[in-house]
Chains A and B, each alone.
Chain A
Amino acid sequence: MEGKRENDDIPQGGDTSRSLEDSRGSDTSRKDEGGSSDLSRRGFLGGTGAALVVAGAPKLGSSEPLSGGAAEQEVQAVPRTAIRVTVNGTEHRVDVEDRWTLNEFLRDQLELTGSKIGCNRGECGACTVLVDGEPMFSCSTLAVWADGRDIQTVEGLERDGAVSPLQQAFMDFNAPQCGFCTSGQLMTASALLVNNPNPTSDEVREGLVGNLCRCSNYNAIVEAVLATAGTSGSGGAQ
């Protein structure tokens, strides 16, 4: 090709020379002339960058001691509730912060990191888990609302150390590319196969429409689910 490369550039001859500039470089602060003190009124991305001072959480009684750290300011107490929830067959009786999503509870408290956060807004499906057998976005429901319910995550699809037929099919059909949507796809598909053991291709796509895949490996995921359908094993869903 003549002229400049049109695509991103490829290193010439493996240039790995280091240049040890002082990275605490130029001072970019600028001296401003006067001007109207026009503070922004708009909030952005969950935080206003402006002069609106938002009061912290209301004080609700005794504060908790810090975990680690030298400073002895006390973090304000946050409302908590005791819940009883079964996760992958194991019952947990725990205290949760009222504001924790089910996803945070599973990932941070139970260390079941198989369920992912893709958007935390109910727009992608990476966080899908089964609640009483039904697929739900774990980012879009609270842990306290799961009290008394039965949760299944991707970690719970295995039986006695063996993966479910659906997980095996996902492996056989290269259904995970980057793998980040995989847990969610598996959970929704597992529930689908319980309710509809022999779905058509259209039914699979309708059932899984709430699970995005940006690698866009949609064709392979559908093939994996169809291959599992009709087999004696379930997707692993209870």
Chain B
Amino acid sequence: MRVYQALLQAFAWASAVLVGAMALAVTFDVVARNLGWANTGWVVEVSEYSLPVATLLIAPWLLHRNQHVRLDVLIDSLPRRLALLLERCANLLGMAICAVFVWFGSLLIIDSARLGSMVVKTLSIPEWWQYLLVPVCFFLLAVEFARRLRA
């Protein structure tokens, strides 16, 4: 349990640091380009790729802290037992949805790696790199929903 929480926290911090690094890199890029230092077209691309990475990294931590936007006012206004029942349904569905993402996310990675698809812009990277975090983060999200079911 402690390891699990530390992992979520570490992912969240990684996301925060990534956002800061993006801001610095893009600023540096503008300055460098205008001073004619270097052609740093790759900075733009790296910051593009960073956006889903930062988003996926922090998603499990947000769920753990119940920060994802949701309509909880209706649930809050229902009688307690009914609310608990609905809450359980929502968590069960959430877990199932995340399981689908883990499974098909993995398939996507395997498929793309087998085909050797590349994304060719300024940088060329294997397409499957982009999706690596999908199964990892959705697995953590599924665990989080399961944890709520037990609580």
Q: State whether these chains interact.
A: no
Q: Which residues of B contact A (CB under 8 A)?
A: none
